[in-house]
């Protein structure tokens, strides 16, 4: 097992040297549907895939283009291969950040090509941060920022069946990807 992980679809994926052919949206959807947000500290299970779907829905509600919507859906896709590290710790791990960025860029490159712009990524970050605020407010009754970010969508923070979330993630991905490729 030198340098690779075996994914849900049985691909031997090398997260440090990702190849396009080894990146699979099926693996991403499956893994993210089983991974919890907030490192498992929310009082109820809420998956990374649900968060990504809410980010996509917010991008859509804000009138984003397909590229931005797909970038929002996939913005945490590297976590399917690396897991995640909480923000307060991650900032002190420059090598991890470099690996995460390289893998995330490989995923964006596979599914979005060169169409991801700085403007798209700005939208992704803004939407991701807005959902983070509302998730923590809902689950932990904590306000992470002084000013509450406005949401144009209406996310429902509740336990959803992992298989249903995985299927919805793939359905949204396929709809968006078909309109881009």
Three-class DSSP labels, 5-73: EECCCCCEECCCCCCHHHCCHHHHHHHHHHCEHHHHCCCCCCEHHHHHHHHHHHHHHCCCCHHHHHHHH
Dmax (CA) of the chain: 47
Domain housing 74: 5-180
Closest CA to 120 of 176, 64, 77: 64
**Confidence check: pLDDT of 100 > 60:** yes
Contact 50, 160 (CB under 8 A): yes
The CATH code of the domain that includes 84 is: 1.10.3210.10
State the pLDDT confidence band at 1, using cuts at 50, 70 and 90. Answer: low
Tokens of 42: 């929310």
DSSP state of 145: S
With a pLDDT cut of 70, the percent of the chain lying above it is: 99
Q: How many domains does the chain have?
A: 1
pLDDT at 179: 76
pLDDT at 144: 92
pLDDT at 2: 72
Question: pTM of the predicted model, to two decimals?
Answer: 0.96
Tokens of 141: 């009754």
pLDDT 10s digits, 46-87: 999 999 999 999 999 999 999 999 999 999 999 999 998 988
């Amino acid at each position: 097992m030198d340098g690779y992980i075996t994914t849900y679809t049985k691909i031997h994926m090398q997260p440090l040297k990702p190849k396009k052919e080894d990146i699979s949206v099926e693996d991403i959807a499956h893994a993210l549907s089983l991974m919890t947000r907030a490192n498992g500290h929310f009082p109820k299970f809420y998956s990374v895939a649900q968060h990504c779907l809410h980010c996509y829905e917010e991008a859509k509600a804000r009138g984003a283009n397909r590229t931005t919507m797909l970038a929002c859906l996939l913005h945490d896709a590297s976590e399917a291969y690396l897991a995640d590290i909480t923000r307060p710790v991650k900032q002190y791990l420059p090598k991890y950040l470099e690996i995460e960025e390289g893998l995330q860029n490989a995923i964006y490159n596979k599914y979005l090509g060169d169409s991801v712009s700085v403007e798209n990524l700005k939208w992704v970050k803004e939407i991701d941060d807005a959902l983070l605020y509302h998730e923590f407010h809902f689950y932990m009754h904590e306000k992470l920022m002084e000013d509450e970010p406005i949401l144009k969508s209406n996310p429902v923070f509740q336990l959803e069946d992992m298989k249903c979330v995985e299927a919805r993630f793939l359905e949204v991905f396929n709809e968006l990807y078909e309109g881009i490729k």
